[in-house]
Amino acid sequence: MAQKWVYLFREGSATMRDTLGGKGAGLAEMTRAGLPVPPGFTITTEACNAYYDDGKQFPEGMWDQALEALKDVEKDIEKTFGDKQNPLLVSVRSGAKFSMPGMMDTVLNLGLNDETIQGIITLSGNERFAYDAYRRFIQMYGNVVLNIKKDKFDEVFDEFKHKTGAKLDTDLTAEALKEIVPAFKALVQSETGNPFPEAPIEQLRGAIEAVFASWNNDRAIYYRQVNKISDALGTAVNIQSMVFGNLGEDSGTGVAFTRNPSTGENKLYGEYLPNAQGEDVVAGIRTPHPISDLEKDENFPDVYNQFHEIAQRLEKHYKDVQDMEFTIEKGRLFMLQTRSGKRTGPAAVKIAVDMLNEGLIDEKTTLQRVPPGDLDQLLHPMIDPRQTDNTKESYVRPITTGLPASPGAAIGKVVFTAEDAEAQGALGEKVILVRKETSPEDLRGMVAAQGILTAFGGMTSHAAVVARGMGKSCVAGAGALQINEAGRYLSVGDLRINEGDYITLNGSAGTVYAGKLDVIAPELSDDFNTIMKLADKYRRLRVRANADTPHDAAEAIRFGAEGIGLCRTEHMFFEGDRITAVREMIVADTVEERKAALAKILPYQKEDFIGIFKAMQGFPVTIRTLDPPLHEFLPHESAQIEELAKDLGVSADKLKARVESLKEANPMLGFRGCRLGILYPEITEMQARAIFRAAKEVAAEGIKVEPEIMIPLVSDLNELSRQRDIIERVALEEGVKEAGVAYKIGTMIELPRAALVANKIAQAAEFFSFGTNDLTQTTFGLSRDDAGKFLPLYVEQKILKDDPFQALDREGVGELMKIATERGRSVRPDLKVGICGEHGGEPSSVEFCHQIGLNYVSCSPFRLPIARLSAAQAALVSTERDR
């Protein structure tokens, strides 16, 4: 017996997402729950995979099963597919396990031909409706199944509008629409060389194949790549009997969320369009009404209550926000889809905490409901409220206002095409993508842009949905906006803004500003704090911050840091006058001269450390000794060198020679890190002295202080031992123990060799901290500064799953981390091990750090919440696995 490839809606359930896809499982579950769902069936994802495995052939039995299911639907709805009098029309939709906007669009009204149209005319009593449905069907089928460009149909369509003097689509008469049908068919014939398929069965077969094919179109592949979705999942195909929202004023269609996906507010949220098909809402061509209006809409008595009750039921059933599509056909409500609703970061936090409070979900589920990366949105800078408060003098008037489609502030230069956004983004430019409306083709440009501004479309338009998913600021449907793509400018009234000019978006208010506004960090909500407290309750990993100044340290504490994992001393070298002393130190000819220069730097460093120690309130502070190549502290232009020479009182030639001698072929692999402290031990000595003196002063004030001195770029035990000897000697000289200050000495593990000989290095190290930025560079032999030429292609072509500078490479870099941790602890079981590379704030990297048993992760203060939540989720996952 052949495998079961086809499931009637009533045969499936929510648990069958893998097989039926998200949409199919939702339809099945709603059907089982007795909700009003137009009958239909789903062809499984397994069928899609089998289709590809068999060289693009329907698997054995699939087609027969589909025809049988179709019979069942015919019986159910009492219509017949292809029947002249009482024809069944169906929609055909793709539906993968995870929602994928990059995939095939829907084909509606399938089953129409020159014969069945008559039945529709009779049944609807509306010839215009019938022919409009017919021409839409040919258009959609032609585009989606037969790959004819939309423009071609639009040209024909516009010609007819012009010919008949119609301005809007709705101005076209039934007669005109009737004429368009053969014109569209002629277009199909000329574009494909074949006539438009009249037989409904043939139409169905073509549409199913087109869905299967769409699994591997470029957009879908790109979408999966960006969203880390496996290529092996396949898509299901949903065939559902049509209901019509465009059968008159008592019909309509809409989409809605059980809660506000932008703010999380617990209130039905969505839009509907009377007398329209579903695609009209998503496409953003007509501006829809808010769902709340439905309650008072005389054309739809009681529909709102019915929908509201269904929405409640669905949310309780799924215990999560539902994103629903519905159609009202002549006053009767049909549910066409329900799925877990995408939401912004702030909404995710509010919804999770609200549902926890409502008793709908438990603490662990609450934590798992917030994607850690989305917290970024809560932490995004926002426009300084004084500039948005019109009672203040500092108020800045927006140039226009649209819908607040995705929250947060965004500043960037105006670009008008996705290509430009991508190209300039690649160059490091911050851009705002300005479009009339966006489409899936614009995806890459949207990824590259800081924010998106559209002139058309609503809160559920493509631009709005995608931007929210990305946590990017978006203002949608700013209708006053005139976009002149060819002229490369936009205008609002008399105001003209050229390509390349700066604008600022406030996605939370829907406002658009000319120029750059001041932005500030947002306040953290109580819900956010609840999530953070929960995360802290469940995580095992400690979190620290990378912070170089007392200000950063204070920020770190605010975001929940339990210490500083990386304090880069060299950043302090650039402040104020001290750079002069640093430069004196570099050009010194003798140890004595160098020591004299260092003596000038010491008091500055000491003061910096005092500030940081105090800010950290007794938490440990890991201070890295001088790391960057010395040439980074010197000017490189002739004029600047000459000026500096004068300041330092040395000859310009000598200084130039010094600058020259410090140049390196590969500075990343050059004279830096502990190599500086080995050649110039007096530098390490000065830094140790500054740290210890600061620690003593702070301790004398009764404040606990826990300095951890970290030696960078170590490749061998001997390097660390030599540096350690210096520090220990200074500690003795400074009487650190007597002052009651406990300190630790440890090292960065940022070279492959350090990881491999960790069992030796650990003999002299009380802690390890993985410098995964450099470790990634050396493990891959990949310069971050130069990888731009090929790394994006590597990720795009899936040579590498991820950019290893963003998500930690577990196989290579991670393997070295595992080796280093194991070997280090083999000789020092209580070795403290952390990470201070940028991966320390990236969710999947934090998960890995948890898995291999690190003690802490350290990241920028701003990413601490992400780290805390990621650490909690990692702990929950591993607990589940342990069970």
Which residues does the annotation mark as catalytic? 462, 836
Site for a copy of itself contains 633 (CB under 8 A): no
User: In this complex, which beta carbon is closest to a copy of itself, that of residue 286 or of residue 675?
Assistant: 675
d(CA 112, CA 135): 10
Torsion angle defined by CA atoms of residues 319, 324, 328 and 332, in that order, rounded to the nearest 10 degrees: -20
> Which of 465, 586, 813, 846 touches a copy of itself by CB under 8 A?
813
Q: Is 812 in the site for a copy of itself (CB under 8 A)?
A: yes
Residue 578 touching a copy of itself (CB under 8 A): no
First to last CA, the chain: 39
Long-range own/partner contacts, residues 572-578 (CB < 8 A, 24 or more apart): 572/548, 572/604, 572/605, 572/608, 573/601, 573/633, 574/633, 575/604, 576/604, 578/604
325 or 719, CB closer to a copy of itself? 719
Asked if 426 is part of the footprint of a copy of itself (rule: CB under 8 A), the reply reads no
Q: Which is nearer to a copy of itself, 76 or 429 (CB)?
A: 429
Task: Provide the residue type at 203 as one letter.
Answer: Q
Q: Which structure tokens are listed for 209? A: 């194949």
**Tokens coding 137:** 């069907």
Least CB distance to a copy of itself at residue 780 (A): 5
Residue nearer to a copy of itself on the CB measure, 383 or 761? 761
Residue number, 503 or 757, with CB nearest to a copy of itself:
757
Q: Please report how close the Cβ of residue 812 comes to a copy of itself at its closest, in angstroms.
A: 4
Strand partners, 710: 624, 746
- Is residue 230 close enough to count as binding a copy of itself by CB under 8 A? no
Are 804 and 848 contacting, i.e. CB atoms less than 8 angstroms apart?
A: no
684 is a site residue for a copy of itself (CB under 8 A): no
Interface pick for a copy of itself out of 160, 815, 822, 852 (rule CB under 8 A): 815
Residue 753 CB coordination number (10 Å): 14
Nearest to 352 by CA among 337, 336, 364, 334: 364
Cβ atoms 403, 510 nearer than 8 A: yes
> Looking at beta carbons only, is 32 or 753 nearer to a copy of itself?
753
Would you count residue 702 as binding a copy of itself (CB under 8 A)? no
Q: Which residues pair with 489 in a beta bridge?
A: 484, 498
Q: Considering the complex, what minimum distance in angstroms separates the CB of residue 826 from a copy of itself?
A: 15
Q: Of 405, 816, 866, 876, which lies in the binding site for a copy of itself, with binding defined by CB under 8 A?
A: 816
- Which helix or strand (DSSP H or E) is residue 127 part of? helix 127-140
Strands 269-274 and 332-340: unpaired
Q: How far is the CB of 756 from a copy of itself (least distance, A)?
A: 5
Q: Residue 881 interacts with a copy of itself (CB under 8 A)?
A: no
Give min distance, CB of 852 to a copy of itself, in A. Answer: 14
**Alpha helices (H) in 480-590, listed in sequence order:** 526-538, 550-558, 570-573, 578-587
Which tokens belong to 109? 């009204």
For a copy of itself, the binding residue among 61, 373, 381, 667 (CB under 8 A) is: 667
Binding-site string for a copy of itself from residue 253 to residue 272, where x marks contact by CB under 8 A and - marks none: --------------------
* Residue from 799, 806, 826, 853 binding a copy of itself (CB under 8 A): 799
Query: Which amino acid is present at 848?
Result: F
Q: Which is nearer to a copy of itself, 536 or 664 (CB)?
A: 664
- Is 867:845 a contact under the CB 8 Å cutoff? no
Longest dimension (CA), the chain: 104
Using CB under 8 A as the binding criterion, the count of chain residues that bind a copy of itself stands at: 50
309 is an interface residue for a copy of itself by CB under 8 A: no
Which amino acid belongs to residue 802?
D
By CB under 8 A, the residues from 739 to 798 that bind a copy of itself are: 750-753, 756-757, 760, 774, 777-783, 785-787, 789-790, 793-794, 797-798
Range in contact with a copy of itself (rule: CB under 8 A) among 299-307, 394-402, 477-485, 669-677: 669-677
Exposure class string for 376-392: b at 16+ Cβ within 10 A, else e: bbbbbebbbeebbeeee
Does residue 632 belong to the site contacting a copy of itself (CB under 8 A)?
no
Question: In this complex, which beta carbon is closest to a copy of itself, that of residue 166 or of residue 782?
Answer: 782
**Identified binder of a copy of itself from the candidate list 713, 808, 831, 872, rule CB under 8 A:** 713
CB nearer to a copy of itself: pick between 4 and 753 = 753
Torsion of CA 678, 681, 684, 690, to 10 degrees: 180
CB 547 within 8 A of CB 553: yes
Q: Are 875 and 381 contacting, i.e. CB atoms less than 8 angstroms apart?
A: no
Q: Evaluate the CA torsion angle 809, 815, 819, 825 in order and state its sign.
A: positive
Q: Is 628 in the site for a copy of itself (CB under 8 A)?
A: no
Out of 33, 174, 447, 678, the only residue in the binding site for a copy of itself (CB under 8 A) is 678
Site residues (vs a copy of itself, CB under 8 A) = 664-671, 673, 675, 678-679, 713, 715-716, 718-719, 722, 750-753, 756-757, 760, 774, 777-783, 785-787, 789-790, 793-794, 797-800, 809, 811-813, 815-816
